[in-house]
Amino acid sequence: MNSLARISTGSPDPQDIHADVWHAHALAGSPQVVQPTGDALLDAQLPGGGWPVGALVELLQPTGVHSEWRLLLPALARCGQGPVGLVGAPYLPFVPALAALGLRASRLLAVGVGGAAQDGRLWATEQLLRCAEVDAVLAWLPQVRSDQLRRLQMAAAEHHKLLFVMRPAALQADASPAALRLVLQPQPPAQIPRLDALAVQIVKRRGPPLAQPLQLQARAARLAVLLAAEGAHALDRTAAHA
């Protein structure tokens, strides 16, 4: 042979590596569209600077904790004009507070699934992801398997939807195809009238491990006022019927 392929055994120059290749020591960029979270501190720790559109985001919470609305509301209010699908929601959200912060009640589309039937929830979630008008889907799937999550991930990618799946924090060690996995834990207020904080631990992302949880403000002031007003009205109603 007159010529031989030359194989280099040296380390490549970082400048020669394509921009799409992720360096493990750095936070990855995002090849897809992202939706800003509404919190600059959190955006700075997410690949691309926001929630990935067309990918599965998994929110893990301790039993009895439901902080998903506090975290997701800013992004849901700004992600478009179409429906936001809710599958298997344990509680109906406080609509006046959501509307005051930009998420109109007319955009909420709650899908009722009888009992705790996991198959029904999975089917409903996938159908919402396939619906062209839907902008985002929130699904509470405490018993979903990894292969079922992978199917939802593929549907979200195919139809370019925001997808958030809520699961128990006890499943943190389980394998998951989610692009992002976050553990949420409300923190008690240090003093009045300081608003309570939300600790967010990013347990999976394309980037180096996050050493400490992020401490995010959990409630905007207007939301806190509305929730307090609703609580006062509830007490008044209870007293009236006593």
Residue 148 · residue 125 · CB < 8 Å: no
Token pair, residue 193, equals: 């009238």
- Is 110 strand, coil or helix? strand
Angle between helical axes of 118-130 and 146-159 (0-180°, round to 10): 20
SS (H, E, C) 27-80: CCCCCCCEECCCCHHHHCCCHHHCEECCEEEEEEECCCCCCHHHHHHHHHHHCC
pLDDT tens string 141-170: 999 999 999 999 999 999 999 999 999 999
Model confidence band, residue 96 (pLDDT cutoffs 50, 70, 90): confident
**pLDDT at residue 191, rounded to an integer:** 43
- Distance CA(136)–CA(156), nearest Å, equals 9
Model confidence at 222: pLDDT above 50: yes
The superfamily CATH assigns to domain 30-181 is P-loop containing nucleotide triphosphate hydrolases (3.40.50.300)
The residues spanned by each domain of the chain are 30-181
Report for 15-19, 66-70, 136-140: range of highest mean pLDDT: 136-140
